[in-house]
Structure 1
Amino acid sequence: MQQNQLNRSLTLIPVVLFGYSFMALATVFSTYGIAAELSHGMVSGSYLLALIVMLFTAYSYGQMAKVVPSAGSAYAYTQKSINPYVGFMVGWAVLMDYLFIPMVNYLLFGIFFSAAFPSVPSYVWILAMLLVVTTVNVLGIRLATLANAFISIFSLVFIFIFICLSAKEITGGAGTGTIFNFEPFYNPEESFSYLVAGAALLCFSFLGFDSATAFAEETINPEKTIPRAVFIITLVGGAIFMSVSYFAHNVWPDYTTFTDPDSASHEIITFVGGKLFSSLFLAVYAITAFGSAMSSQASASRVLFAMGRDGQLPKFFGRLHHKFQTPVNNILIIGTISLLALVLSLTLLASFINFGAFIAFISVNIAVIFYYFIRQKQRSIKGTILYLILPGIGALLDFWLLLNLDIHSKVLGSIWFALGLVYLLFLTKGFKQRPPELKLGTEADETA
């Protein structure tokens, strides 16, 4: 009998590193200028509001990871707590998120290196990065863990140096001339609506905290490790984003003087550290893109594996390589799909990602209510707060952000969703049969 479960080898730190690699900590620099314009300089306050929204959803992911320690993440949670039909549709939406995030990173990598080396076409860099990322993920989770550790540490060191250099400039009289300043969080002369607008954009900086749950079957003691990892990734990630944006504001308080909002961080970094430090930033950004592509491809392959093993996708997706014990078929498929980065635009890819992410977030919050409050009947005062009010607030906040997405996100997301519904109709013979359901623990072994 062939084993059809992923090997448990990950502890808390590697899972957290996967989350940070997926999240791409350096994204705080790439979005700073645009966020400063949207929030009228209150970027740290926008990050704080975004962090609060994401903590509600991170809480719900942690609660579901305790009872459904599966590689399927949001798909698995909704299937077991609500019903398999909803589970399939959520899994379909999650794929929209996970399948397109690697493409974004490949595309950005190609843009970055083709700008640095104009004589080499961008498609060469895209193909090279895709080949390396796919190889690392095929060879196994341990190699990917080592790569994530290097990427995360490199990013954190750069961020630490940036904060130190910024503090030196500020105390020397640059910018606001003071380290202690509340304006990056809230400026009473500006409308609070600007801060909210910034938060709506910056919630996307947190995408990646949920990816940790996709490694539940490869994690030792996932019932405890995964909830802790999700909370740490979200909270510490938010703290890092707020710190960077706080010092960036204080060293360059007038956001209206940026030459180009898209490259505002490059201007700030050059100001505090010179050309050498700005070159280091470009290297960090490239490495971060690599790490995010690697982690997102690995996460997506695990979701496909869970759905294939359960029969919601063809069994081809539910197989592991006999030597590497990784879902090689899925990794190669995702790598092939990622070739679309050669022809698709960044705007189009981002539209898919945003819609799928918020569908998953809303569903996981609702899953907590269904599982704990409705099915387990945990309706004491404590249970009502933990399993109805908190996830209910999270679902409403996520739904509010979903409604505020641009029209491209809504249209493209709805088309993808409709295609999933057609496939579900085919799979269940017009809803006359229940779709195959998630198998946990020994159930998966018995049917392997």
Structure 2
Amino acid sequence: MSSDLNRTLTLGPLVLFGLAYMAPMIVLGTFGVLDQDSGGVVPTAYLLALVAMLFTAISYGRMSRAFPVAGSAYTYTRRAIDSRVGFLVGWAVLLDYFWLPTVIWLIGASYLSTAVPGVPTWLWIVLFIVLTTILNVLGLKLATNVNLLLMAMQVLVLLFFVILSFTHTSGGLSTMPFWHAGASVSGVAAGAAVAAYSFLGFDAITTLTEETLDAKRTVPRAIVLVTIIGGAIFVIASYATQLVASTVHVAHPDSAAYEIAGVIGGRLFAAVFLAGLVITQFASGIAAQASASRLLYAMGRDSVLPKRVFAFLSNRFHTPLINIAIIGFVGLIGVFLDISTAASFINFGAFTAFTFVNLCVIALAIRRRTLTGARGWLLNLVVPLIGAAVDVWLLTNLDRQAIIIGACWLVLGVALLAYLTRGFRRPPPEVTFSE
């Protein structure tokens, strides 16, 4: 089998892929949580998150140009800084993979339990886990055209939601959603720390590098465009939703957008909104659980994790059955968590990885001696330094429980690294990513 892929993708399809991966409708799924965390200024929280992600996106673009391979933050850090540091960054990213399916299932369950009060939230979570686990064990893959259909459905529902929100508010436009007397910088920072969850996946574009025409130019441009367009969608949608939210009482913050949908569009639109959100969450849950189990399999295959367990494949279905079950078990912990806390677990790993991608740009510039001229200093030092500083600031504003668990996770990673390297005396095993 040839290892060469056909280079057919251009900028437009890459941007669409990135937006589909980000799932724009997530802005409504997490609105109520962000409304509480930010103190009622969700659009401002998204603006701050956009600034942080934009600086980091530029750094991702520069690293994808230098190392056009899979593995993202893990690979960049391993090659630009040190293999041991790269291992720990990859270990931090693993926290994202563990908790992403849980957050997806939590969001879907919270909305369904609001729509059907007689069914407890935990039962919806279990149902999500059982269904997605069965489908992933069977090896089901969502085709590209199905993903595009789901993307179209998301955009349509989101567009109607925004239009109905604007038409519902008789007072017209206002600056209140961005700032008001009760708002605070600490609240905005806390909201932005969770809002960054919506941006996760913009770097997925790097996985298509080998199928992109003029990849060294096209991929970095696509990463930045996806971040800007996605951020604009999040800010506009959250602004419209905040206008309505300030005039209505929301009984269940975790599913606030569903209640608002009923206010602006009646029962029919609320049902359409719920269907769109649940279908989106279900499809995302399948993909997230499959991705997490695949990463665990890669780590088991390369002896980073116990091979006998994590590299096991089902003889019948040829899928990493044990890994899929592990991710499902982690999802069960979501029964005892809220969306904000679970999302913070993800963002701990994300902000750690984002910080090091920014530092990778600086390390690579020093090694290659490209800190020359105004452009070189700006792109190779100033931009990544700002990106890293903002990422660290947002990380410190995460839920305290998430910071504690994240720190414990990193300590566990250091212990595993010490074991694998015989006391840091030899390079750690490298995780290889293959289709």
TM category, shorter: 0.7 to 0.9
Q: Which of the residues 402, 406, 422 maps onto 2:395?
A: 402
**Residue 87 in structure 1 maps to residue 90 in structure 2:** no
| Superposition pairs of residues 167-182 of structure 1, within 5 angstroms | 167-170=166-169, 174=170, 176=171, 178=172, 180-182=173-175
Which residue is 2:162 aligned to?
Answer: 163
**Residue 374 in structure 1 maps to residue 374 in structure 2:** no
Quote how far apart the aligned CAs of 1:435 are: 2.1
Unmatched segments (≥5 aa) in structure 1: none
**Residue 361 in structure 1 maps to residue 364 in structure 2:** no
8 Å contact from structure 2 (residues 196, 347) kept in 1: no
Summarize the Cα distance change of 1:50–1:315 in structure 2 as closer, same or farther, 3 Å threshold.
Answer: same
| Superposition pairs of residues 135-154 of structure 1, within 5 angstroms | 135=138, 138=139, 143-154=142-153
Q: Which of the residues 418, 421, 424 maps onto 2:414?
A: 421
8 Å contact from structure 1 (residues 71, 306) kept in 2: no
Summarize the Cα distance change of 1:223–1:153 in structure 2 as closer, same or farther, 3 Å threshold.
Answer: same
Out of 265-274 and 82-91, give the one that drifted further.
265-274
Quote how far apart the aligned CAs of 1:387 are: 0.8
| Superposition pairs of residues 323-402 of structure 1, within 5 angstroms | 328-329=319-320, 333-344=323-334, 345-347=336-338, 349-371=342-364, 373-380=365-372, 381-402=374-395
Which residue is 1:270 aligned to?
Answer: 262
Unmatched segments (≥5 aa) in structure 2: none
Matching residue's letter, 1:288: T
In 2, distance between residues paired with 1:232 and 1:332?
38
Summarize the Cα distance change of 1:312–1:370 in structure 2 as closer, same or farther, 3 Å threshold.
Answer: farther
Quote how far apart the aligned CAs of 1:259 are: 3.3
| Superposition pairs of residues 155-304 of structure 1, within 5 angstroms | 155-170=154-169, 174=170, 176=171, 178=172, 180-187=173-180, 190-213=183-206, 215-216=207-208, 219-221=211-213, 222-254=215-247, 257-300=249-292, 303-304=295-296
Q: Which of the residues 132, 135, 143 maps onto 1:132?
A: 135
In 2, distance between residues paired with 1:58 and 1:200?
16
In 2, distance between residues paired with 1:370 and 1:422?
26
In 2, distance between residues paired with 1:305 and 1:228?
32
8 Å contact from structure 2 (residues 99, 346) kept in 1: yes
Summarize the Cα distance change of 1:54–1:125 in structure 2 as closer, same or farther, 3 Å threshold.
Answer: closer
Summarize the Cα distance change of 1:13–1:6 in structure 2 as closer, same or farther, 3 Å threshold.
Answer: farther
Tell me the secondary structure at the aligned position of residue 422 of structure 2.
coil
Which residue is 2:103 aligned to?
Answer: 104
| Superposition pairs of residues 20-31 of structure 1, within 5 angstroms | 20-31=19-30
8 Å contact from structure 1 (residues 18, 145) kept in 2: no
Quote how far apart the aligned CAs of 1:206 are: 1.7
Summarize the Cα distance change of 1:43–1:374 in structure 2 as closer, same or farther, 3 Å threshold.
Answer: same
Identity, in percent, stands at 41
TM-score by length of 1: 0.81
Matching residue's letter, 1:291: A
1:422-442 Cα offsets, whole Å, 9 max, x none, are 2211211111112245779xx
Matching residue's letter, 2:363: F
TM-score by length of 2: 0.84
Summarize the Cα distance change of 1:19–1:360 in structure 2 as closer, same or farther, 3 Å threshold.
Answer: same
Summarize the Cα distance change of 1:320–1:217 in structure 2 as closer, same or farther, 3 Å threshold.
Answer: farther
1:149-199 Cα offsets, whole Å, 9 max, x none, are 1221111000111122223333xxx3x2x2x43332334785555444432
Tell me the secondary structure at the aligned position of residue 258 of structure 1.
coil
Out of 76-85 and 45-54, give the one that drifted further.
45-54
1:237-293 Cα offsets, whole Å, 9 max, x none, are 1111111122223344347x4334333322321111100111111111212212322
Matching residue's letter, 1:33: G
Matching residue's letter, 2:331: A
In 2, distance between residues paired with 1:29 and 1:6?
40
In 2, distance between residues paired with 1:225 and 1:308?
34
Matching residue's letter, 2:100: I
Tell me the secondary structure at the aligned position of residue 70 of structure 1.
coil
Summarize the Cα distance change of 1:437–1:265 in structure 2 as closer, same or farther, 3 Å threshold.
Answer: closer
Quote how far apart the aligned CAs of 1:81 are: 0.4
Summarize the Cα distance change of 1:332–1:310 in structure 2 as closer, same or farther, 3 Å threshold.
Answer: closer
In 2, distance between residues paired with 1:45 and 1:194?
10
In 1, distance between residues paired with 2:312 and 2:68?
19
8 Å contact from structure 2 (residues 420, 429) kept in 1: no
Matching residue's letter, 1:272: I
In 2, distance between residues paired with 1:350 and 1:250?
25
Matching residue's letter, 1:69: P
Matching residue's letter, 2:272: L
